[in-house]
Amino acid sequence: MSHKIIKVPMGKCNSYLIATEKGFIMVDAGMPDKINKVKQILKEEKATLSHINLIIITHVHYDHVGCLKELKEQSNAQVLVHKSEADLLIRGSTNMPKGTNSIAKILSKISNKFFPNFSKFEPVLPDISIKDEYDLAPFGVDGKILHTPGHTKGSISVILAEGDCLVGDTMFNLFPNTVFPVFANDTEELKQSWEKIKEYDCQRFHPGHGSSFECKKFIKSLNKYET
Ligand SMILES: [Zn+2]
Ligand SMILES: [Zn+2]
């Protein structure tokens, strides 16, 4: 089962569409008010929102669920999330995650203290909540979803048999020498998740922030992390 990955720029973060034999799988639902971007890209593929069958939420942060309610309503797609974050989706709010460097740490503290409503979004009831793994074959693509906690407790990554890995915020491609995320609630857990991802020998990585990158950059970042 072949597929194609299409990047959807959604403001400061990326969503992706995976074109499969059975329609589209969307990974993440971007910043608010960007639904036209999704429509436009689907139009170029001669498709509409109704061709999306599944929306995978890599984790419940406002920049990944901003258009989710609208998208779900207009596409009728099923929404999938890790079970440990389903309640956040239903509640419609999250905290800013912990920073992994000094500037991000300060930013995170300030925003949680002074802007507790900063990360509010339209609540959505998920259709599927997963635990460790989830097979994507019924949606027309060889691949699976893997629980990769660290950035948040319920972060998940999509691993496709042809060598693509869609990682959400488990990796950030914003710096020249590393893909280590700027924010992560548990860096030890994150490292274990990276080790788990490594097992799959993925060739191309597609992050929530920054451009797609090759396996080499991931391995280099992982080796740096281990020392
Ligand atoms: Zn995030
Ligand atoms: Zn993000």
Q: How do residues 171-182 score in pLDDT, each as one tens digit?
A: 999 999 999 998
CB-CB neighbours of 7 under 10 Å: 13
Mean pLDDT of 81-106: 85
Q: How do residues 37-58 score in pLDDT, each as one tens digit?
A: 999 999 999 999 999 999 999 9
Kindly give the distance from the C-alpha atom of residue 169 to the centroid of ligand 1, in angstroms, as a whole number: 5
Select from 130, 204, 208, 217 the least CA-distant residue to 167. Answer: 208
- With tokens 């589209």, the residue in question is 24
Residue pair 16/7 in contact by the 8 Å Cβ criterion? yes
Kindly give the distance from the C-alpha atom of residue 118 to the centroid of ligand 2, in angstroms, as a whole number: 14
CA of 59, nearest ligand number = 1
The residues whose Cβ lies within 5 A of ligand 1, an ion, are 61, 169
Kindly give the distance from the C-alpha atom of residue 213 to the centroid of ligand 2, in angstroms, as a whole number: 17
**Domain annotation for the chain: domains and CATH numbers:** 4-226 (3.60.15.10)
Answer whether 0.85 is exceeded by the pTM. yes
Measured in degrees and rounded to the nearest 5, phi and psi for residue 93 equal -155, 150
Q: Tell me the Cα Rg of the chain.
A: 16
How distant, in Å, are the alpha carbons of 11, 54, 123, 189, 211 from that of 35? 11, 16, 16, 33, 20
